């Protein structure tokens, strides 16, 4: 029973898996071609299936792709040859070409396109355009001069019509160089003013203007002209400090250092006095106006001198290049080449320090304080001043006259 020879009982076999349900063939989208007459023709059936019959649950589809019009590149292509570039290409080639021509300004002359227009076809008035620019031009750039009339007075300033869309405002402290207590008396309505623009338009279109800034500019111009003339002028000392004294000149504050005063040790005693001064420095950019009483003495001395004049002085110093001669407050230079027409071995052969000499003035430069002297013109023959200096000095007046006459004749002949 349990022997090996007895056959084993048959076991039931596992059930075979059911065969998969047959799959339906893939749906293929049919694109119908239009004939030249515009009538679409059906495609051939696919996979042996008739186009007129539909499978269960199959929905008839319409062609979502509109066929290109006659003459397009897709007309002669099959479905297999259609590319993405063909699908994306514009269907109306004429409209696209017109847009391109219009963009590049090269509109064709085809009757289908609109007529081209040039710039001359549009109305353009240059005068009107420039007038519009002028109307919108901002009035009053910084540093610009402007003229106008007072139109309103406030406690802190005045308003002036300067021709812009909004008036200019002048603060009280910019109405003049001095202290102004009553604006209504100083600037009645309708008063015509010339002002300087100090700040451009704000958000309301109002510019800031100043009479004080304009007066200061004019004062600096006047002082600069005075300096070029090199003349001395009178000023009144109105204050002092540790370094010197102050004064008022054309509305500007001038400073005179103690070292430039004739009495610098007691400079505070100069307050209230009127003294003569000359310019040492005039700088509008840094607003520095430095004056000198000592230089005024030199300037006044220069005003007494002229070219060709015979001057008497004393030798103050001997330098390798000549003699410095004290002419009473100013110094003149007698260059070694202008001492004598002869051969000079040493300057001390002619003059020594403290000797009184007479010489002719041949150069005057008040700006640099330079005076050029000459003794060669006093010689009748070259080297005479070395051989007989006393005779030359004694006859200097007559010899100077002859020299001036000779110089005048040369000038006339040159003219």
Please check whether residues 309 and 410 belong to one and the same domain: yes
- Cα 328 to its chain centre, rounded Å, is 50
- Note whether 294 and 311 are same-domain residues: no
Please tell me whether residues 247 and 312 are part of one structural domain. no
316 and 360 in a single domain? The answer is yes
Q: Are residues 294 and 331 in the same domain?
A: no
Please indicate, yes or no, whether residues 387 and 409 belong to a single structural domain of this protein.
yes
Whether 134 is in a domain gets the answer no
Could you tell me if residue 58 is inside a domain?
no
Distance CA 19, CA 255 (A): 122
pLDDT of amino acid 234: 93
pLDDT score of 14: 53
Are residue 294 and residue 239 in the same domain, yes or no?
Answer: yes
Is 127 within the bounds of a domain?
A: no
CATH code where residue 338 lies: 2.40.50.140
Inform me whether the pLDDT recorded for 65 exceeds 70: no
Task: State the pairing for strand pair 331-335/370-374.
Answer: parallel
Which residue would you say has higher pLDDT here, 347 or 33?
347
Residue 155, pLDDT score: 86
Q: What are phi and psi of 250, to 5 degrees?
A: 55, 35
Q: pLDDT band at 35, cuts 50/70/90?
A: very low
Q: Which of 161, 186, 215 is the last residue of a domain?
A: 215
User: 123 lies in a domain?
Assistant: no
**pLDDT confidence band for 299 (50 / 70 / 90):** confident
Predicted local confidence at residue 26, as pLDDT: 55
Judge whether 64 lies within some domain.
Answer: no
Does 326 lie in the same domain as 234?
A: no
Last residue of a domain, one of 299, 329, 348: 299
Answer yes or no: is pLDDT of 18 > 50. Answer: yes
Per-residue model confidence (pLDDT) at position 85: 59
Instruction: Kindly state whether residue 10 falls inside one of the protein's structural domains.
Output: no
Residues 274 and 316 in one domain: no
The number of domains in the chain is 3
- pLDDT at residue 222 tops 80: yes
* Interval 329-350 mean pLDDT: 90
Cα 139 to Cα 45: distance, rounded to the nearest angstrom? 86
Least confident of 87-91, 171-175, 271-275, 322-326: 87-91
pLDDT at 3: 45
Instruction: Indicate whether 215 pLDDT > 70.
Output: yes
pLDDT tens readout for residues 116-136: 555 555 555 667 666 655 555
Q: Is residue 294 part of a domain?
A: yes
Is pLDDT at 313 greater than 90 in this prediction? yes
Q: Sorting pLDDT into bands at 50, 70 and 90, what band is 289?
A: very high
Please tell me the predicted confidence (pLDDT) of residue 49.
43
255 and 276, same domain (yes or no):
yes
Mean pLDDT of 228-239: 88
Q: Which of 279, 299, 319 is the last residue of a domain?
A: 299
- Residues 163, 251 within the same domain: no
d(CA 186, CA 258): 39
- Residue 111 pLDDT more than 50? no
pLDDT at 412 over 90: no
Q: Give the residue numbers spanning the domain of 251.
A: 230-299
Q: Are 163 and 135 in contact (CB under 8 A)?
A: no
- The average confidence (pLDDT) of the chain is 76
Residue-wise pLDDT tens digits, 162-204: 877 778 898 988 888 777 778 888 888 988 888 888 887 777 7
Task: For residue 259, give the nearest of 246, 243, 273 by alpha carbon.
Answer: 243
**Mean pLDDT: which of 74-78, 141-145, 352-356 is highest?**
352-356
- Whether the per-residue pLDDT at 388 is higher than 60: the answer is yes
Count of other CB atoms within 10 angstroms of residue 93: 14
Residue 332 is assigned to a structural domain of this protein: yes
Same domain flag for 276 and 291: yes
């Amino acid at each position: 029973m349990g022997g090996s020879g007895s056959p084993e009982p048959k076991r039931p076999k596992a059930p075979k898996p059911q065969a998969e349900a047959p799959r339906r063939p893939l749906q293929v989208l049919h694109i119908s071609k239009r004939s030249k007459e515009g009538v679409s023709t059906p495609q051939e059936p696919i996979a042996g299936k008739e186009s007129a019959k539909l499978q269960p649950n199959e929905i008839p589809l319409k062609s979502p792709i509109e066929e290109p019009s006659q003459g397009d590149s897709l007309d002669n292509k099959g479905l297999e040859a259609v590319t993405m570039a063909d699908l994306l290409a514009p269907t109306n080639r004429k409209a696209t070409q017109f847009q391109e021509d219009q963009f590049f300004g090269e509109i064709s002359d085809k009757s289908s396109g609109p007529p081209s227009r040039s710039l001359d076809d549009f109305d353009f008035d240059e005068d009107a355009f420039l007038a519009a620019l002028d109307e919108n031009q901002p009035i009053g750039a910084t540093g610009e001069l402007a003229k106008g009339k007072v139109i309103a007075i406030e406690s802190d300033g005045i308003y002036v019509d300067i021709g812009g869309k909004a008036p200019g405002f002048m603060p009280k402290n910019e109405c003049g160089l001095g202290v102004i207590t009553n604006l209504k008396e100083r600037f009645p309505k309708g008063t015509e003013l010339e002002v300087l623009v100090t700040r451009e338009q704000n958000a309301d279109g109002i510019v800031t203007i100043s009479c004080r800034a304009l007066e200061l500019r004019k004062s600096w111009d006047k002082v600069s002209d005075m300096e070029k003339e090199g003349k001395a002028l009178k000023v009144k000392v109105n204050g002092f400090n540790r370094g010197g004294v102050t004064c008022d000149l054309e509305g500007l504050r001038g400073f005179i250092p103690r070292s430039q005063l004739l009495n610098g040790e007691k400079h505070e005693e100069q307050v209230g006095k009127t003294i003569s001064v000359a310019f040492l420095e005039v700088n509008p950019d840094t607003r520095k106006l430095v004056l000198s009483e000592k230089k005024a003495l030199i300037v006044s001395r220069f005003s007494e001198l002229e070219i060709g004049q015979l001057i008497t002085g004393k030798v103050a110093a001997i330098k390798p290049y000549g003699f410095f001669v004290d002419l009473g407050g100013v110094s003149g230079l007698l260059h070694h080449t202008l001492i004598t027409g002869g051969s000079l071995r040493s300057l001390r052969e002619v003059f020594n320090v403290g000797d009184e000499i007479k010489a002719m003035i041949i150069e005057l430069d008040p700006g640099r304080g330079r005076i050029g002297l000459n003794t060669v013109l006093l010689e009748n023959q070259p080297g005479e001043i070395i051989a007989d200096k006393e005779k030359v000095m004694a006859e200097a007046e007559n010899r100077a006259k002859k020299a001036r006459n000779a110089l005048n004749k040369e000038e006339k002949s040159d003219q």
